[in-house]
Structure 1
């Protein structure tokens, strides 16, 4: 949250020229600069080299199973919610080589890492819900005794330029999850895009010494009282725009106490088991591992790729899959996301970004499913086996 105390100094940079200077400064320090851009009818995160790569003047309209880009009435650079991509795809790539093995002419097999150390990453336009998602994955991949070295190396030097949301999407519910819309921590710089009455200027807050050092090389000036008040008003307005809400009180016990609720069968009748919700989710981390070899048989490699608990093979063990029905797989996903995740990592696995609602082909709404369970809990807590625990 933006702090208006006298000891907290906020700065202002120009909209287009400020972002261009920011991109140039990060690139000059060897970062791979990533930010929002338009591609294939959506706003996605990709490499950016110029402010012209940003989706100036575009917004998104989102609802359950619906996403559409529309023109805004201004030239705002961050006047949209979130698209199908999350920053997870850069910190925890969809496909990642783990190692290669090569057998030499002498019959000796040598193992080597599959890839060199990655370039430093710089993210521009990270929303508060996404910052929370990154922090959730930090717990998963580097918060325990077994650290994922690939994730840790990419995360270690990541430079994060956050953005306070100026517009909520139709499926956003970050206020319910206490994950937004204002950024509070975990960033190097945080931007708030002011209305056009202020010339589209960006209020900048520093969150680290690295952020402060970078800002020194970018033309800026102290924010005025009017600009600081306008920045606060932007966030407050967005908080009142939420397209969805979820009551989270007692949600862990609600889900764990209702394994045989008839709602699971109802949602399974609509679910396609496509896995879209897990692919767009910024916190889901399930993977599978595959080994490949070349035609000569002398070189083999192991890769890790994203997987989904919605696939039949994901829970396969000797003798078959543990969760053979869509009902059991949807229940596993939702119960893990909102209940047992808390037991594992001390936090919910949901940050309220709404992606799973928007990108579900049949418009299944996670907030509606929780509300249905809460409205009529299964007090019996018993039932017949539904084809998978």
Structure 2
């Protein structure tokens, strides 16, 4: 599925080309606007999303090798800033933090007071958001009741997570079009990449070769266009646009996996398939797949009280449908076996999510495959169920 940049909904597309050294000017301009820039950095043998003030901290010249249950970084002589794909973290870490204080209570005399967190949300500028990740943010916008208009302003539905909505409205997004795909990527078959879709403020395409190292920059919002005008840049020519298109086509051609077509209907027809027991024999129920997933939103609530009993806090933290306690109600857990828990995760992600939110819960980033300790492959599981029906499968590229 190919997209054109015009789909971003901005009436005045603004394109320019900046030099490699102008990435620092971009970071400085975002900082001057009051944003805390978050971007990819190499740490602990992986590419993670951390605060960024110096362009030199980007993972220039590092690429990732990914397969089922395997992730390794390698040096690459092209020296790209965004030659890697995606690592174990997603932007969900900042928009929907792993631990959040919901309220605090304090005993005062014969009564008590309850306070909720106050103050403005942090203003984050996300640098290096891939197409699959941009799509994941859009999915969570629906989950948490955030409505987007004209690609920028944020409103609210009847039921809205106010904390998420506030952080989302304050965020500035600098997307990056992928120039390569990892072995576990399948965004092309989902329709979410490798070219970034609508929702970004600025989008970069890294152009390397024939003695050049530049970035095509495209504005996707009015505030993105204003910031682009502040950067040292030249007008984008037709040759620059063609080079950028070739970059994303190279990533599309190198896609490592494909998801089965009409997977929602496929899974809905096979809720009692023996494949669920087979995969349960391999699954460790470790919850890695849900922790690295950019769209999973399951949480639990914890109350903590100090030793005096005068102070209490209520926290929300990430949880997973793979834990036995997650489905606990009076009398015990509903999903006690690994087969039922894996089926719940996969069928919700790829099938029943449509009924709830009108979209798939998967954006094809491949993290669940890479970071599964035993290399369980969600695309392979769908393909196996398709094969049992006697249908043709696209298979992997």
Q: TM-score range by the shorter chain?
A: over 0.9
**Residues 1:81 and 2:75 are matched in the alignment:** no
**SS of structure 1 residue aligned to 2:60:** coil
Give the match's secondary structure for 2:94. Answer: helix
The correspondence for 2:48, drawn from 32, 44, 48, is 44
The equivalent of 2:231 in structure 1 is 218
Work out whether residues 135 and 197 of structure 2, in 8 Å CA contact, stay in contact via their aligned partners in 1. Answer: no
Gaps of 5+ in 2: 7-11, 147-156, 392-397
Alignment-derived partner of residue 293 in structure 1: 305
Structure 2 equivalent of residue 146 of structure 1: 159
TM-score by length of 1: 0.94
5 Å matches for 1:53-202? 53-104=57-108, 106-114=109-117, 116-143=119-146, 144-197=157-210, 199-202=212-215
Residue 358 (structure 1) aligns with: 370
Which residue of 263, 269, 277 maps to 1:265?
Answer: 277
1:35 to 31, 34, 39: 39
Does the 8 Å CA contact 1:103/1:109 hold for their aligned counterparts? Answer: yes
Shift of 1:355: 0.2
Question: Runs of 5+ in structure 1 lacking a partner?
Answer: 380-389
Counterpart among 10, 17, 28 of residue 12 in structure 1: 17
Residues 163-192 of structure 1, C-alpha deviations (whole Å, 9 max, x = no match): 000110110000100000111210000000
Q: Hey, what does 1:275 align to over in structure 2?
A: 287
* Count of aligned residue pairs for this structure pair: 375
TM-score (norm 2): 0.92
Change in Cα spacing, 1:93 to 1:115, as seen in structure 2 (3 Å) is farther
Match of 1:319 in 2: 331
CA drift at 1:119: 1.6
Label 1:113 to 1:370 Cα distance change in 2 as closer, same or farther (>3 A): same
Q: What are the Cα deviations for residues 249-293 of structure 1, in whole angstroms up to 9, with x where unaligned?
A: 2x2221112111110010000000000000000000000000001
**Distance verdict in 2 for CA 1:198–1:236, change over 3 Å:** farther
Q: Distance between the aligned counterparts of 1:226 and 1:91, measured in 2?
A: 37
Q: Distance in 2 between matches of 1:145 and 1:99?
A: 22
Q: What secondary structure, in the 3-state scheme, does the structure 2 residue paired with 1:200 have?
A: strand
Match for 1:348 among 360, 365, 390? 360
Partner of 2:252: 239
The whole-number CA distance in structure 1 between the counterparts of 2:47 and 2:104 is: 35
Select between 200-209 and 117-126 the one with higher mean Cα deviation: 117-126
Deviation readout 1:62-103 (Å, 9 max, x if unpaired): 000000000001211000110000000100000111110011
What is the alpha-carbon root mean square deviation over aligned residues? 1.6
Contact 2:14 2:225 in 1 (8 A): no
> Cα distance, 1:108 vs. partner?
2.5
Q: Contact between 1:30 and 1:119, CA under 8 Å: does it hold in 2?
A: no
